[in-house]
Amino acid sequence: MFVASGQGQGRRAEYSVDEVSAGLDVLEDFGINCERYEEISGTSQNQFTLKKGTGEVMEETGNWFGGLALDSRVFGVWQKDLARSDSMDAASDLIGLSGFAREGIKLLRGCELSIVNSASFRMAVVSVVPGVKDLNIGTGSEGGRVGAEDPYPINETYPLDGSEASNMRRDLRFGKARGALELTEEGLPRLRLRWENPFAGEGLDEFQLVGQDELHVISTITVNGRTVSYTSVHTRKA
């Protein structure tokens, strides 16, 4: 097993890392200082608590996926820069949004990225009107709603092991979207999505850090053979 130093100070050392695929050379390419530690316990999520050979508990932690560390700089609350972000009108056209739903997209103001229970990556989208009760955005089989009990109109979680998860559709229509977390070579998250009718399609979100305090989310949507891409620019909220 390997443990990375210099990230996530002050928490227990819990990792999901494959010793076979995660070599020192790979991790050190990302500027991570690595040492070998004794595995003393494990869970069904393949999370391990590590101790030094002397039995001392480490006070560092890392979130691992496929042998690479998820860059912790991406975590936090990010505020959308409306002036520098691309319009989402073409994407709205592609998935057939109209009326109130299209206006609702204009109320999105950013996102919050975090790790849940040391096992899942969470992306929550922040709106200026959080938790609107019974927000109907369509009719019949294409309808959807947001419950007042959830402060975020979109709240998604993805297992760190890369398995698929089921979340509410982002267009808030009834039904689910399936998606999985991947990591870029830079250790940043990438989300692959797919959903069924109405307007069945696929999506891809790629997260890119520009310095310490700017996040670009490049979103690509494909429906009926047509593809639309747009970039949302965010700055870190203090």
Residue extents of the structural domains in the chain: 2-69, 72-236
In the CATH hierarchy, which fold is given to the domain comprising 72-236?
Lipocalin (2.40.128)
Beta-ladder partners of 180: 192
Structure tokens at 92: 């709205």
Label residue 59 exposed, middle or buried (CB < 10 Å: 0-12, 13-18, 19+).
exposed
Write the CA distances from 22 to 3, 7, 60, 65, 186, integer angstroms: 10, 17, 18, 10, 15
The model's pLDDT over 67-125, given as tens digits with 9 standing for 90+, comes to 557 898 999 999 999 999 999 999 999 999 887 778 878 888 899 999 998 889 999 99
**Residue-level pLDDT at 65:** 54
Task: Using 70 as the pLDDT threshold, list the residues of the chain that sit under it.
Answer: 1-68, 129-152
CA 77/CA 86 separation, integer angstroms: 20
In this prediction the pTM is 0.67
Token pair for 197: 């009718």
Rounded CA-CA distance 13/63 in Å is 10
Looking at residue 129, what is its pLDDT?
A: 64
